[in-house]
């Protein structure tokens, strides 16, 4: 049911958010450009800018490259990237990344650590212990916060996780490649940080889709599919400009479409899932290679793609087979979604680069002519940072929805000592 129209106060809040989002996504802009793009008059822009400046979210200054026209140059509104930031956490199967990302999307600082993975047999090594993981994430984040100094304010935090996550309480419901044993990662991490901000936990591929849509290959594409390979295969889907969440937030689990009934066994219990046919383990297995602690998955996948390019027949056949099933899965998705773009990220980025012809040929054969006519196949423009950038964008959502309110609440919050 449609809601009735908004109040004046709601309109002001909406406009503040719209202006801040504009400079956050598009970068510094003059009042004239803001007025034109937001459909507001100059005096409204001036009032909004003044509120955002007072809150410490933007500042106005002379453009860095002076304009060509003579006379006084127009001031530009610039996001306060160093003073207002979020913490973005990316939990991969092989590595942990924590970054401090400033308003405007600038990665200001980062920490990375390799981590031991759960063995393919299911036995967990010591380094895969979820407590150790949270310890490592919290320590890295605290070090970033200390370095940022007291002048800077953390306005949000989010964590990209390779598993399916319930929207209502951020609980990880299924993460066969990285078991967290029912731990409420977000809550634990938030307490350990003591910054007064919650840590949202989201599926990594969903965040990848958001990142590529906002800042990557899919800018301006309102219907896109992001496919993410780590050990597993996940998906994030944007339809009509919005993330497909589904009833509980589990939408986009394209890794568990059955493309090959009776095919390879999958971690989910089925056979022939897309993940089972095109995942990292299958590619390495077909290529006669093993993962090893020295060569984590992503590099092992790259080694197969490189070997295939140099003419290694076993590697080439392995890539061909994986490319075929990946192409068939993409053809199904093209029929179902009629997307404007399909983006390959994580290890699937490398697979796509090595098997593009194969994948395109399967899409041409398997998808309806009309549905595939305008689809573009692309690799993730944000490279290995796709899911990390997505976590940052997700973490900024609150402050962009209600900038002044959120900042006032955070600055007024009594500082709680971080739990060591």
In this chain, which stretch among 105-113, 299-307, 327-335, 384-392 interacts with a second copy, using CB under 8 A? 327-335
**Residues in contact with a second copy, total (CB under 8 A)?**
71
Q: How far is the CB of 136 from a second copy (least distance, A)?
A: 27
Say how many Å lie between the first and final Cα of the chain, rounded: 48
From the list 59, 340, 361, 381, which residue makes contact with a second copy (rule: CB under 8 A)?
340
From the list 18, 107, 136, 139, which residue makes contact with a second copy (rule: CB under 8 A)?
18
Sequence-ordered alpha helix ranges (H) in 55-198: 130-148, 185-193
Count of beta carbons in the 10 Å neighbourhood of residue 93: 22
**Binding positions for a second copy, 123-182, rule CB under 8 A:** 164, 166, 173-174
Which C-beta is closer to a second copy: that of 45 or that of 388?
45
**Binding positions for a second copy, 192-221, rule CB under 8 A:** none
Would you count residue 332 as binding a second copy (CB under 8 A)? yes
Burial 113-150 (b: 16+ CB within 10 A, else e): eebbbbeeeeeeeeebbbeebbebbbebbbebbeebee
Q: What is the C-alpha separation between 10 and 18, in angstroms, rounded?
A: 12
Q: Among 17, 170, 189, 169, which Cα is nearest to 88's? A: 189
Which C-beta is closer to a second copy: that of 147 or that of 242?
242
Which C-beta is closer to a second copy: that of 173 or that of 353?
173
Would you count residue 353 as binding a second copy (CB under 8 A)? no
**Binding positions for a second copy, 237-256, rule CB under 8 A:** 237, 239-240, 242, 244-254, 256
> In this structure, is the dihedral angle defined by the CA atoms of residues 205, 210, 215 and 219, taken in order, positive or negative?
positive
DSSP 225: E
Q: What is the C-alpha separation between 187 and 101, in angstroms, rounded?
A: 21
Q: How far is the CB of 166 from a second copy (least distance, A)?
A: 7
- The three-state secondary structure class of 298 is helix
Would you count residue 352 as binding a second copy (CB under 8 A)? no
Which C-beta is closer to a second copy: that of 194 or that of 245?
245
Count of beta carbons in the 10 Å neighbourhood of residue 272: 18
109: tokens are 């600082």
From the list 65, 121, 168, 369, which residue makes contact with a second copy (rule: CB under 8 A)?
369
Would you count residue 419 as binding a second copy (CB under 8 A)? no
From the list 30, 53, 82, 338, which residue makes contact with a second copy (rule: CB under 8 A)?
338
Spatial contact of 281 and 263, defined as CB atoms under 8 Å apart: no
In this chain, which stretch among 3-11, 100-108, 350-358, 412-420 interacts with a second copy, using CB under 8 A? 3-11
In this chain, which stretch among 82-90, 96-104, 301-309, 367-375 interacts with a second copy, using CB under 8 A? 367-375
317: tokens are 């056949």
331: tokens are 């053809």
From the list 42, 147, 265, 374, which residue makes contact with a second copy (rule: CB under 8 A)?
374
Q: How far is the CB of 307 from a second copy (least distance, A)?
A: 28
In this chain, which stretch among 2-10, 64-72, 177-185, 226-234 interacts with a second copy, using CB under 8 A? 2-10
Q: Residue length, the chain?
A: 420
Would you count residue 257 as binding a second copy (CB under 8 A)? yes
Long-range contacts of 260-269 (CB under 8 A, 24+ apart): 260/325, 267/176, 267/177, 267/232, 268/174, 268/176
From the list 299, 306, 317, 373, which residue makes contact with a second copy (rule: CB under 8 A)?
373
Count of beta carbons in the 10 Å neighbourhood of residue 405: 14
Query: What stretch of H or E contains 88?
Result: strand 84-91
Count of beta carbons in the 10 Å neighbourhood of residue 59: 16
**Binding positions for a second copy, 30-69, rule CB under 8 A:** 37-40
Cα pseudo-dihedral 33, 47, 108, 129, rounded to 10: -120
**Binding positions for a second copy, 269-288, rule CB under 8 A:** 270
Would you count residue 75 as binding a second copy (CB under 8 A)? no
From the list 86, 195, 330, 375, which residue makes contact with a second copy (rule: CB under 8 A)?
375
Which C-beta is closer to a second copy: that of 247 or that of 294?
247
23: tokens are 């400079």
In this chain, which stretch among 4-12, 62-70, 190-198, 285-293 interacts with a second copy, using CB under 8 A? 4-12
């Amino acid at each position: 049911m449609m809601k009735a129209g908004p109040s004046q106060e709601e309109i002001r809040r909406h406009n503040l958010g719209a202006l801040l989002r504009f400079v956050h996504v598009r970068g510094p802009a003059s009042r004239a450009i803001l007025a034109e793009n937001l459909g507001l008059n100059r005096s409204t822009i001036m009032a909004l800018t003044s509120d955002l400046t007072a809150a410490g979210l933007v500042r106005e200054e002379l453009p860095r490259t002076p304009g060509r026209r003579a006379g006084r140059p127009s001031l530009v509104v610039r996001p306060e990237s160093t003073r207002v930031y979020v913490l973005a956490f990316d939990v991969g199967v092989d590595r942990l990344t924590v970054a401090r990302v400033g308003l405007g999307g600038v990665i200001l600082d980062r920490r990375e650590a390799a981590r031991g993975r759960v063995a393919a047999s299911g036995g967990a090594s010591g380094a895969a212990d979820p407590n150790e993981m949270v310890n490592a994430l919290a320590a890295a984040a605290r070090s970033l916060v200390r370095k940022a100094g007291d002048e800077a304010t953390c306005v949000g935090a989010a964590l990209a996780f390779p598993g399916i996550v319930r929207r209502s309480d951020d609980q990880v419901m299924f993460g066969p490649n990285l078991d967290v044993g029912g731990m409420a990662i977000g809550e634990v991490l938030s307490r350990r940080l003591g910054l007064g901000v919650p840590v949202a936990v989201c599926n990594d591929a969903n965040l990848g889709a958001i990142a590529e849509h906002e800042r990557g290959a899919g800018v301006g594409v309102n219907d896109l599919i992001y496919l993410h390979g780590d050990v597993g295969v996940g998906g994030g889907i944007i339809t009509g400009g919005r993330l497909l969440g589904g009833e509980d937030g589990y939408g986009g689990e394209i890794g568990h479409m059955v493309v090959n009934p009776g095919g390879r066994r999958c971690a989910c219990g089925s056979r022939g899932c897309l993940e089972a046919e095109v995942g990292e383990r299958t590619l390495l297995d077909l290529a006669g290679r093993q993962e090893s602690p020295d060569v984590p998955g992503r590099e092992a996948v790259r080694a197969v793609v490189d070997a295939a390019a140099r003419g290694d027949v076993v590697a080439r056949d392995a890539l061909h087979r994986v490319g075929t099933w990946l192409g068939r899965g993409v053809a199904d998705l093209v029929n179902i979604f009629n997307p404007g773009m399909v983006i390959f990220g994580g290890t699937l980025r490398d697979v796509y680069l090595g098997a593009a012809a194969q994948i395109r040929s399967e899409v041409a054969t398997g998808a309806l002519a009309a549905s595939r006519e305008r689809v573009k196949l692309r690799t993730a423009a944000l490279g290995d940072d796709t899911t990390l950038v997505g976590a940052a964008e997700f973490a900024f959502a609150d402050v962009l929805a209600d900038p002044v309110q959120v900042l006032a609440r955070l600055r007024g919050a009594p500082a709680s000592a971080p739990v060591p």
